[in-house]
Amino acid sequence: MVFCFLCCVASTVISFKFRNINLPEEKVKSTTFKEYKEQLKESFRFFLSSKRMKSLILFNAILMGIILGIVNLRSSMLSEMMVPEQYFGIAFAVLQFIAAISSRMTNKVQSTFKNKTLAFLSLPLTISCIIIGFIGGDPLSKSSFILIFLLYLIQYAIKGPYQALMGRYLNNFTNRKIRPKIVALKNLMANLFTAIVTLLSSLLLQITTTANTFIIIGCISTILVVLMLDYMKKRVGLKPSQYPKEDMKYSLVKTTKQL
């Protein structure tokens, strides 16, 4: 309660520091429903025709579904291990801090692993879910809690650079006309898969423990990620000259960047 009060006071003080900025008025042409429908159709046609874009959006849907879908499972696991609830806030605050710090390593991760970056980030995330499930069967072991917390740290450390890199990959070889539509489609697919993971988790929790749910979700997601990585080998991470014209339809600059 005290912490929330301090945050409210700080946000109030900061809000009074803002100053209005007079911006020149620009005439914005309104978009009709017919034009919007055509734009939406265009983005879906690009998604279906571009193997590169299709691969990235589907891969992102799977991984973000796991990242967002297991949020409640983490708290449930700690509860089943009889961890006092007053430590939950501290634990997850540290995890979020790790995610923020790791996002600064985005460029280093990309330069180190290059075309294997997505595999480096995705497989440890899904496999860690399986390991958490096997470790989480012991509700009284302090060593088990430490191991699970370290695995949580790995998952949050992956979350930071992954989101930054995926946004960069999706923006490559596109222009500002199509980018908002790509973002909308990416979020739609990610939310859809998150809903599937969340629904599956809730169904599993009705018949088994959180540990077993982690194992099942981890096994399914690992299989899906491996299949997607294999599918993406010849479709993502190529040189610009190696992509078919459908993938380069909205490209403005022939860049040498990969992915």
Label residue 216 by pLDDT band (50, 70, 90): very high
Which runs of consecutive H residues, i.e. helices, occur in 136-247? 142-171, 179-205, 210-232
The pLDDT score that the predictor gives to residue 258 is 45
CATH number at residue 138: 1.20.1250.20
- In this structure, what token pair is assigned to residue 61? 């849907």
Range of the domain at 161: 51-83+90-242
Assigned domain for 253 exists: no
Assigned domain for 197 exists: yes
Q: What CA–CA distance (Å, rounded) separates 144 from 132?
A: 9
Label residue 219 by pLDDT band (50, 70, 90): very high
- Mean pLDDT for the stretch of residues 119-129: 94
Assigned domain for 23 exists: no
Q: Which of 42-51, 57-66, 87-96 has the lowest mean pLDDT?
A: 42-51
- Position 185: which residue type? L
Assigned domain for 20 exists: no
Rank 7-16, 56-65, 84-93, 237-246 by mean pLDDT and report only the highest: 56-65
pLDDT tens column, 91-119:
888 888 888 888 888 888 888 888 889 99
- The position carrying tokens 């620009």 is 26
Residue 90 class from Cβ within 10 Å (0-12 exposed, 13-18 middle, 19+ buried)? exposed
Residue of 258 and 106 predicted with greater confidence: 106
Assigned domain for 46 exists: no
The pLDDT score that the predictor gives to residue 9 is 57
Q: What is the mean pLDDT of the chain?
A: 81
Assigned domain for 16 exists: no
* CB distance 211 to 136 below 8 Å: yes
Number of domains in the chain: 1
Assigned domain for 179 exists: yes
Does residue 1 have a pLDDT over 60?
no
**What count of other Cβ atoms lies within 10 Å of the Cβ of residue 91?**
17
What distances in angstroms separate CA 6 from CA 3, 15, 22, 92, one per listed residue? 5, 14, 32, 19
Residue of 96 and 176 predicted with greater confidence: 96
The pLDDT score that the predictor gives to residue 257 is 47
Does residue 255 have a pLDDT over 50?
no
The pLDDT score that the predictor gives to residue 173 is 73
Does residue 217 have a pLDDT over 80?
yes
pLDDT tens column, 177-207:
778 788 888 888 999 999 999 999 999 999 9
